[in-house]
A and B are shown apart, each in its own frame.
Chain A
Amino acid sequence: MSLDPVSLEVIRNGLAAIAEEMSMVVMRAARSPLLREAGDHSSALTDRHGYLVAQGQDVPVHLGVLSFTVREFLRVVPAGKLTPGDVWIVNTPEVGGNHLPDVKLIRPVFSGATLYAFAISLAHWADIGGAMPGSYYAAARDAWQEGLRIPPVRLVAGDAIDEEKMGFILANVRGPDERRGDILAQVAATRVAARRLEELDGQYGADFLIAAFDAIHDRAERQMREAITAIPDGSYTGVDYMDDDCNGGAPVPIRVTVTVAGDEATFDFTASADAVPGPLNTTRFIAGAAVFYVMRALFGPEIQASAGCYRPLTVITRPGSILDAGPMAPVVGGNHETCQRVADAVFDSLIPVAVDRMSAGGPTTAGLLIFGMQRPDGAWSTFYEVHSGGEGARIDRDGMAATRVHLANVMNTPAEVIEMEYPITVEFQAIRRGSGGAGAHRGGDGIRRGYRMRADDVSLTTMFERAVVPPYGLAGGDAGLPFTVKLIAAGGQEQTLGGKQNIRINAGDLVIAETCGGGGYGRAPEH
């Protein structure tokens, strides 16, 4: 059954409204600061096979994940085991995941006895256990050091929480009260979705909705095919580099060969580096998300976020490589660092056909600093901060200072909030003048921010890139300045910190983040 253009648009609006409502419930009720201040969460609806049909708040990196989670979940938990009123919890990367802190709650939705949809809520918890508060362990060498691994577990049955399983999870994470709040918010979001879907079911009938889901997939597929057609047939190769392998090694290549034939395209990452010892590995789902992002940004901003858009795309990753490292590899940083480098490599490959649509290199790193402190009452308090940098310049304009780019868009934490909630003084926050690369158009400037400790024994975790391999210029423009983090001890000794470190710092110590500038575009005018 095909759907006419009007019914398609009406249903699409109805489904998007449901996913948006889910996101708002999580945003307002959740506890982890990442969810509330920064919006690091996503909601989606899928069809009965687990193919995504609607997404709430649009976090590009999550699209890839949510497009696969329910499908992989169904490989582990056959549909026959699902009953109305269930909500399942899962976070293992191999089950359509990315890293352990992104916890997914999945609710099957039934019409009578017929399963016809799933609602899924993904949220980045502030802690999922493991070696370090905040669950970012830069020295991790296997998955268990990164925190609690939750395979698909039925956490809610008959719409009642199974307190035994809940207790088991909460016993393994820091801040159990807050994590309980996060779980309740996510369960509430899926409950709202189920109720709204029931209303649609009552209005249209499940058969009609199932047909509508198929029509939505078909439409996204058409849109992606139109976008691919805009690229001339041919084979294009690109590369970009991670700063290191988390073990003091040389830069690590992410390589792609893009083959375009008519309205289909293959993105082959086989030649990318082997898995690295530390937590910069990632999953093939993340590689898919990055490919989708680049296609949409360069060729089709209107492409609908639905599983159908993957049909004309083939994404190949090599098992054992950094992009397909297997279930036991540490992955926590790969989610936001390596995924951005995948996008950079794909951009690089398409320079011959689309340089005039591209931005030069930008701050494709979270620039993450995590300060962990134990409060006087023994509870952990974790301050998790990402940093913006200079946008890359374009063919027709300079890059803007102090922004997030591509697959990331998380906001900063105001200095006044930091000083109210943590024993840290923000000494300054300023534009890092002159850090953007020169060019016919200049790259945007990064920022400088200084954090002075007011307590002893603070654990600091760094997780940033672009410190060794700076943001690239395009068409003859210069690269931007690299990302730098300095530690100036209370006694005055200064040291430069690496991008994946865990250290202890004390009262009086000053940590200064100087974020990367964007690359320039075009040759700078002669003096």
Chain B
Amino acid sequence: MAGWRLGIDIGGTFTDVIAVAGDGSARRSAKVPSRPAEPVRAIVDAIAAVDLSWDEVEEIVHGTTIVTNDIVEQRFRPCALIATRGFSDTIEIGRGSRRHLYRLDLPPRAAPLVAPAHRFEVEERMASGGRVVVDLTEAEIERVVAEVRAAGLDTVAVCLLHAFTNPEHEVRLGAALRRRIANVSLSHELSPEFREFERMSTTVLNAMMMAKIKQHLARIAERKPPASRVHLMHSASGMASPELIAERPLMLAMSGPAAGVSASCRSARELGIAHALTFDMGGTTTDVCLIVDGKAQIAANRDLGGQRIRMPMVAVDSIGAGGGSIARLVSGALVVGPQSAGASPGPACYGQGGERPTVADADLLLGYLNPDRTLGKSVKLSSARAAEVVGRLAADMGFTLVDAAVGIARVVSANMARALRRATVERGLDIRQFDMIAFGGAGPMHAAEVARLCGIGRLVIPAFSSGFSALGCVDATMSYARQLTVNMKSLAWDQTRLDGLLAGQTEALAASLTAAGHGRETLAVVHTAGIRYSGQSYETPITAAALHDPQVLGQQFDEAHRALYGYATGEPWELVSVRTEVSAPERPSEPHVIVGTDAPPAAAAPPRIVTFEDGTSASVTVLDRDTLPVHVRMPGPLVIEDEWSTVIVPPRDTAWMDGRGNLHIAVSLAR
């Protein structure tokens, strides 16, 4: 029989695993503690937790925060930078701006990634367009390679000016380096796009992560049986081979969130939802991402831990508000977050020394959290502690205790709604055309009210919502994406050059997939053209299977621009960049059917008093999610609990469960 397939999401605290039998006949899931010091142990533990041995496993896809954490916590391996003569300080100059407008005490930016002594320059120069102005000689290559070796560095990043148009110098220098240095990262391979600082920063960060990821992959290779395969979840929400990740570890920068987004895409497709907004509310932050026409929105770059990364990644926005966010009164306004009580001491109701009121304390007082529930590590929630800290805030505001708790919930919802609206507006989309998919520890508790504020009427709390990221891993297909700069004006169209560029990019991506055993003819190729009117700086994305008619492209662009900004001018335009995604065929969904029942659902707990954001209170039935009937409409107010999370269905809203175990909530938008 075919072996099992496992999705394993190694998070900061917990590792989630979902196992699917080769014939789709069975699914198992579990949670085990993560072990940051030995990530491979988490994989071994996860396999054991679903009662399997590694020999029974055909394939593992795992998401990991190794790279994310090293960047955020600034654990950087010393790295040499080689740049064009006159440009090595670009890594320190950056874009010259500062992060905090009014905070003089904070440094304007993160310290430069590469120390001055590790910056090297070579005599060479390309002009814009790729013409060689100063040739890179073999003697010069020998000199700089010797200097880097003399500095005792085993990691080097190369970023030469205009290498995105003509990589010839980087290719030759890279070949010489790779003969003698272990970890070499070349800018035109990582990010073949213009803007030298962003390309340089991306290349350096990638180089810095190489040694550690190679070690991680080697440890996995030692432990795993030869027949069992291991793949990794990359930032653009597909899976990648260990061979590619060894050279491009920075592809893992957003591995964790990408897994959750991947699972959401799958849910959206199964449910026939075209546009969805994912809402993953955790302890300190809430991650949101847009799915448009079934595809996750991809961002071309992002800042992570103060560092600029330019690679295709799921466009996840992190909002600084979650269950641990602290509420305080600032000059007469109730402000929640971005400060968080974090995991330690945690919210006051955890009874571990937290002294300031948090969202979780309000959730407990409002009856959202089950007061008799113990959280992992057997934390018993204390309503008394919550009442004490929220009570102090209430007294300052002249509110009752419950009104203060309602206030905290309303402010959090308003913060979230503002951030969600920003995420849609930034991409020129109307939030009311979206459904919401909510998961994560606190997501299902607050999602309905946030959806209502955004004008979103349909909310889904998917099956397996607490181990959702692992589900994203197990369902992942292999796909690679890369973006390159084209810079072609509609009035100077050169189809031959464009075809050449696209073919080169497509075949480079496809090669990694065919090497992993996929037939070239089975691969799907999608191009996303970034187009703008001459003079604009922001491109409007136009997605197409082929780009061979500038007239059609121009019409599509005008239409998209009109939809985004309310006008189009019909002026000349330019094709700035093309992102290409090559992917293997999707896995068929397994027919995991939940047997419907006519029996009344079981209570998970006695009814409790719940107060909603509109200020009304009621004694509310608490149902066990695992016993809900299928396709039966259940009017709110209602509380639905499972082992890991609580779903709040406010009054006037209606919930029902579908045959796959997804919980749907119709959110009333009437005023």
Contacts and interface: CB of A to CB of B under 8 A. Distances in A.
Interface of A: 4-6, 8-10, 12-14, 16-17, 20-21, 24-25, 27-33, 36-37, 58, 60, 175, 177-178, 180-181, 184-185, 188, 191, 202-203, 215, 218-219, 222-223, 226, 293, 296-298, 301-302, 304, 357-359, 386-388, 391, 394, 396-397, 400-405, 409-412, 414-417, 419-420, 425, 427-431, 447, 450
Interface string B394-419: 00010100000011001100110110
Q: Which of A188, A202, A397, A402 has the most CB of B within 10 A?
A: A402
B407 A6 contact: yes
B422 A17 contact: yes
B96 A412 contact: yes
Q: Which of B86, B94, B96, B414 has the most CB of A within 10 A?
A: B96
A400 B334 contact: no
A10 B414 contact: yes
Given A10-B411, A17-B418, A414 B108 contact: no
9 contacts: A10-B411, A29-B565, A175-B535, A177-B571, A202-B671, A296-B102, A417-B194, A431-B89, A447-B93
A428 B86 contact: yes
Contact of A358 (B104, B329, B335, B407): B104
Nearest to B129: A420
B575 to A, nearest CB: 14
Contact of A24 (B162, B333, B425, B533): B425
Nearest to A408: B97
Given A416-B195, A420-B129, A431-B89, 13 more contacts: A5-B397, A6-B407, A9-B414, A10-B410, A13-B411, A27-B538, A29-B538, A58-B101, A184-B567, A391-B108, A409-B101, A411-B97, A428-B85
A483 to B, nearest CB: 14
Given A416-B162, A416-B194, A13 B567 contact: no
B426 interface: yes
Q: Which of B127, B407, B414 has the most CB of A within 10 A?
A: B414
A411 B86 contact: no
B128 interface: yes
Nearest to B128: A419
B398 to A, nearest CB: 8
Interface string B87-113: 111101111111001111101110000
A262 to B, nearest CB: 17
Contact of B93 (A8, A12, A412): A412
Contacts of B442: none
Contact of A394 (B105, B129, B194): B105
B569 interface: yes
A30 B569 CA distance: 12
Interface in B313-370: 329-336
Contacts of B87: 415, 428-430
A178 B93 contact: no
Contacts of A388: 93, 96-97
Nearest to A295: B102
Contacts of A215: 332
A5 B407 contact: yes
Nearest to A445: B92
Given A402-B94, A403-B109, A428-B86, A13 B418 contact: yes
Contact of B426 (A24, A29, A223, A396): A24
A352 to B, nearest CB: 18
B280 interface: no
Interface in B135-178: 161-162
A30 B109 contact: no
B170 to A, nearest CB: 14
Given A31-B533, A184-B567, A425-B127, A219 B331 contact: yes
A400 B108 contact: yes
A355 B421 CA distance: 41
A13 B127 CA distance: 48
Given A9-B414, A28-B565, A411-B97, A427 B86 contact: yes
A8 B407 CA distance: 11
A188 B566 contact: yes
B428 interface: yes
Contacts of B102: 60, 293, 296-297, 301
Contacts of A30: 536
Contact of A5 (B86, B93, B197, B329): B329
Interface in B491-527: none
Nearest to A58: B101
Contacts of A425: 127
B287 interface: no
Nearest to A179: B535
Contact of B418 (A14, A223, A429): A14
B490 interface: no
Judged by DSSP, the binding face of A is helix
A409 B101 CA distance: 8
A228 B426 CA distance: 37
A156 B161 CA distance: 46
Q: Which of B85, B87, B116, B535 has the most CB of A within 10 A?
A: B535
Given A5-B397, A420-B128, A428-B87, A403 B98 contact: yes
A16 B98 contact: no
Contacts of B161: 415-416
B247 interface: no
A9 B89 contact: no
Contact of A219 (B94, B333, B336): B333
A410 B108 CA distance: 13
A428 B102 CA distance: 31
B671 A203 contact: yes
B333 A8 contact: yes
A297 B98 CA distance: 14
Contacts of B475: none
Contacts of B671: 202-203
Given A301-B103, A402-B93, A420-B487, A37 B537 contact: yes
A383 to B, nearest CB: 13
Contact of A430 (B89, B94, B127): B89
B127 A419 contact: yes
Contact of A13 (B85, B93, B417): B417
A415 B538 CA distance: 18
A60 B101 contact: yes
B196 interface: yes
In the A-B complex, the 3 residue pairs with the closest CB atoms: A36-B537, A428-B86, A388-B96
A302 B104 contact: no
A24 B423 CA distance: 11
Interface string B551-572: 0000000000100111101010
A21 B421 contact: yes
Given A13-B415, A14-B414, A414-B195, A33 B333 contact: no
A462 B180 CA distance: 48
Nearest to A6: B407
A197 to B, nearest CB: 14
Contacts of A184: 565, 567, 569
Given A181-B533, A414-B194, A420-B487, A5 B425 contact: no
Nearest to B85: A428
Contacts of A5: 329, 332-334, 397, 407
A503 B331 CA distance: 53
A293 B2 CA distance: 67
B96 A12 contact: no
Contacts of A428: 85-87
A294 B495 CA distance: 55
Nearest to B413: A10
B331 to A, nearest CB: 5
B410 A404 contact: no
Nearest to A425: B127
Contacts of A387: 96
A417 B195 contact: yes
Contacts of A359: 104
Contacts of B330: 302
B50 to A, nearest CB: 43
A315 B564 CA distance: 42
